[in-house]
């Protein structure tokens, strides 16, 4: 039997610095603190006898960043979509396909923001093509069918949920197949594409509020560790791009400036281009022809 | 009845008594408790992640900390389930969220017999510390499962 929940409202963080979102948050915090009448208890990190939970890092999905951009008035989804609808080329190894699978999932999240059932369908078919090569078509196809159905019905929440489940299913299937070391490549591909999309969009209408979304130095470090475990030319190129991104973020503790955002977009585009041969920037060929 | 059989029966009865006293911990039970906590906010527009964290407290309680990237502009809920529920009178694990300097950022915390939840409005995009804590002196093992959603 479930008991009624005990609701405890506590004060939260320090006053925010600037920006519309910070001000709104500050108001909420002040109200909550006043209602609770409690003094926030700070955690002494130096004396923290806590055990860090190791294991899988939960990588945020691109939708978490894209959702904030939408709230901040971003509207260039269709334009970006039209620039990335190209078939990947030069995929050879299972690593290539795992990375490209993550890229296709990220493209699906962008298609959701654009409310484009057609683009969601394209991303879903790309996911199936990668899954076929990786020997997991059966495991992934039920998610893709659910994606197609949800997109047709305009159920974008459902599409996002199934895109998220694809990554989890792909990783679990890889582990069952004895390919567990490939599993992080799916997240890596998705993060690179998601960050590329965000950085390009932010660069086209820069603001500090938007640029702050790119502050993800720990994820950069995480993926550098992932790249370091694989001795391939593609991973070396991706690691170099991650180094550049890390450097920009290290110089920008609050939010990257316009130049920094452009540098992040370029680095991500080069990395995505290494994965799929199709990217928003740096794709000198631009034909996108070819295939797995 | 032989001595060996009697000994096995005694062990089985004793083991059952221990389990009844302290509850039967299970990762599936913890995940189910977290799912029920999620269901309490069903329909409120949160996109719940398919992935989750999980772990276990052994005898004596303790504190587990996770680091996770959050984005300013989103609203987050974290849902913690634990199993067994309130074994031996021990309260279930608690859940709090802090920024990287140790300041609490959760604006609302709820808890029940085998679950806890925390609502966060990140003041800045970056890494936050999620702390799952079991009271010192807690007896028996306890599995936990942590999910989150955003909107």
Alpha-carbon dihedral sign for residues A186, A191, A196, A201: positive
For residue A160, CA distances in Å to A61, A74, A98, A126, A275 come to 9, 18, 20, 16, 23
Check B47 against A160: CB less than 8 A apart: yes
Q: Does ipTM exceed 0.90?
A: no
DSSP string, A75-114: --HHHHHHHH--------SHHHHHHHHHHHHHHHHHHHHT
* Cβ within 8 Å of residue A265, ≥6 positions away: A196, A199, A200, A203, A280, A281
Please give the model's pTM, rounded to 2 decimal places: 0.82
Average pLDDT over residues A131-135: 96
Three state DSSP letters for B75-129:
CEEEEEEEECCCHHHCCCCEEEEEECCCCECEEEEEECCCEEEEEECCCCCEEEE
**When comparing pLDDT for A75 and A41, which is higher?**
A75
User: What tokens does A48 get?
Assistant: 């923290």
Percent pLDDT > 70 in chain A is 76
Q: Give the confidence band of A13 by pLDDT, cuts at 50, 70, 90.
A: very low
Task: Provide, as residue numbers in chain B, all residues whose Cβ is less than 8 Å from the Cβ of A167.
Answer: 50-51
* A239 lies within 8 A of chain B by CB: no
Picking from B71, B117, B119 by the largest number of A CB atoms within 10 A of its own CB, the best residue to mutate is B71
Cβ B97 vs Cβ B109: under 8 Å = no
Chain A interface includes B49 (CB < 8 A): yes
Reported as a pLDDT band with limits 50, 70 and 90, residue B84 is confident
Whether the per-residue pLDDT at A19 is higher than 80: the answer is no
Inform me whether the pLDDT recorded for A86 exceeds 70. Answer: no
Q: Do B104 and A12 touch (CB under 8 A)?
A: yes
- Report CB contact under 8 Å: B65, A51: yes
A189 contacts A180 by C-beta, under 8 angstroms: no
The closest alpha carbon to B71, from B119, B108, B126, B120, belongs to: B126
Q: Which residues of A touch B45 (CB under 8 A)?
A: 157
- pLDDT at res. A276: 81
Residue with tokens 């031996």: B88
- B55·A216 Cβ contact <8 A: no
Name the DSSP letter for residue B137.
Answer: T
Cα gap A160→A73, rounded to integer Å: 20
The residue count for chain A: 292
In terms of residues, how long is chain B? 151
CB contact under 8 A, B66 and A53: yes
| Least reliable range by pLDDT among A117-126, A271-280, B2-11, B16-25 | B16-25
What gap in Å lies between CA A281 and CA A284, rounded to an integer?
Answer: 8
Cβ neighbours of residue A157 closer than 8 Å, sequence gap 6 or more: B45, B47
For residue A67, give the nearest of B66, B74, B131 by CB distance: B74
B63·A28 Cβ contact <8 A = no
Mean pLDDT of the region A123-151: 96
CB proximity list for A46: less than 8 A, separation 6 or greater: none
Best probe of the B interface among A14, A43, A150, by most B CBs < 10 A, is A43
Q: B44 touching A, CB under 8 A?
A: no
pLDDT band at B28 (very low <50, low <70, confident <90, very high): confident
d(CA A106, CA A200): 14
Q: Summarize the confidence of residues A60-68 as an average pLDDT.
A: 95
The burial of A64, by beta-carbon neighbours within 10 Å (0-12 exposed, 13-18 middle, 19 or more buried), is given as buried
Predicted local distance difference test score (pLDDT) of residue B1: 56
* pLDDT score for B124: 95
> How would residue A1 be classed by pLDDT, with cut points 50, 70 and 90?
very low
**Inter-chain CB pairs, A–B, below 8 Å:** 169
Q: Which of B34, B62, B73 is the best substitution to test chain A (most A C-beta atoms within 10 A)?
A: B73
Q: What is the pLDDT of residues B33-53, one digit of tens each?
A: 888 888 887 657 899 999 999
In this prediction, residue B87 has a pLDDT band, given cuts at 50, 70 and 90, of low
Confidence of residue A255 (pLDDT cuts 50, 70, 90): very high
d(CA B119, CA A18) in angstroms, rounded, equals: 22
More confident residue, A183 or B41: A183
When pLDDT is cut at 50, 70 and 90, the band that residue A92 belongs to is: confident
Contact across the interface for B50 and A213, Cβ inside 8 Å: no
pLDDT tops 80 at residue B15: no
Residue pair B124/A211 in contact (Cβ under 8 Å)? The answer is: no
> How sure is the predictor about B62, in pLDDT bands with cuts at 50, 70 and 90?
confident
Average pLDDT of A199-205? 94
Would you call B51 and A28 a contact, using CB atoms and an 8 Å cutoff?
A: no
Question: Rounded mean pLDDT of chain A?
Answer: 82
Q: Give the pLDDT of residue A48.
A: 56
pLDDT band of A82, cuts 50, 70, 90:
confident
Distance from CA of B122 to the nearest CA of A (A): 8
Chain A: give the shortest CA distance to residue B6, in Å: 37
Helix (H, G, I), strand (E, B) or coil at B141: coil
The separation between CA A81 and the C-alpha centre of its own chain, rounded to angstroms, equals 16
Q: A75 or A205, which is more confident?
A: A205
Sorting pLDDT into bands at 50, 70 and 90, what band is A54?
low
Contact between A6 and B121 using a beta-carbon 8 Å cutoff: no
> Where is pLDDT greater, at B72 or B9?
B72
The pLDDT confidence band at residue B81, using thresholds 50, 70 and 90, is very high
């Amino acid at each position: 039997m479930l008991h009624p929940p005990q609701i405890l409202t506590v004060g939260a963080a320090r006053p925010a610095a600037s920006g519309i979102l910070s001000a709104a948050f500050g108001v909420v915090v002040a109200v909550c603190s006043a209602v609770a009448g409690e003094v926030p208890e700070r955690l002494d990190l130096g004396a923290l006898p806590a055990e860090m939970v190791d294991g899988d890092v939960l990588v945020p999905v691109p939708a978490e960043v894209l959702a904030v951009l939408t709230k901040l008035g971003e509207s260039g989804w269709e334009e970006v979509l039209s620039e990335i609808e190209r078939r990947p080329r030069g995929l050879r190894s299972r690593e290539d396909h795992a990375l490209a699978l993550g890229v296709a999932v990220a493209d699906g999240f962008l298609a959701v923001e654009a409310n484009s059932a057609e683009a969601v369908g394209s991303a879903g078919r790309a996911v199936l093509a990668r899954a076929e090569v990786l020997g997991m078509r059966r495991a992934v196809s039920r998610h893709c069918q659910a994606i197609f159905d949800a997109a047709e019905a305009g159920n974008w929440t459902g599409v996002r949920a199934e895109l998220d489940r694809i990554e989890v299913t792909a990783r679990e299937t890889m582990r069952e197949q004895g390919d567990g070391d490939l599993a992080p490549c799916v997240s890596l591909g998705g993060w690179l594409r998601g960050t590329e999309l965000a950085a390009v969009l932010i660069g086209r209408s820069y603001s500090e509020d938007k640029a702050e979304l790119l502050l993800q130095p720990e994820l950069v470090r995480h993926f550098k560790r992932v790249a370091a475990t694989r001795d391939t030319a593609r991973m070396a190129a991706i690691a170099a791009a991650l180094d550049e991104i890390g450097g920009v973020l290290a110089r920008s503790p609050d939010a990257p400036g316009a130049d920094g955002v452009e540098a992040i977009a370029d680095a991500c585009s080069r990395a995505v281009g290494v994965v799929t041969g199709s990217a928003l920037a740096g794709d000198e060929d631009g034909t996108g022809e070819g295939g797995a | 009845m032989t001595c060996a059989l009697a000994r096995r029966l005694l062990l089985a009865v004793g083991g059952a008594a221990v389990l009844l006293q302290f509850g039967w911990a299970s990762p599936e039970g913890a995940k189910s408790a977290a799912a029920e906590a999620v269901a309490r906010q069903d329909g409120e527009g949160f996109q719940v992640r398919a992935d989750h964290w999980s772990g276990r407290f052994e005898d004596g309680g303790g504190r587990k900390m996770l680091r996770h990237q959050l984005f300013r502009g989103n609203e987050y809920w974290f849902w913690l389930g634990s199993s067994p529920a309130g074994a031996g009178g021990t309260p279930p694990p608690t859940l709090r969220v802090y920024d990287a300097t140790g300041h609490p950022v959760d604006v609302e915390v709820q808890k029940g017999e085998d679950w806890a939840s925390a609502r966060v409005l990140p003041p800045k995009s970056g890494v936050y510390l999620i702390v799952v804590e079991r009271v010192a002196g807690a007896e028996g093992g306890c599995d936990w499962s942590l999910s989150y959603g955003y909107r």
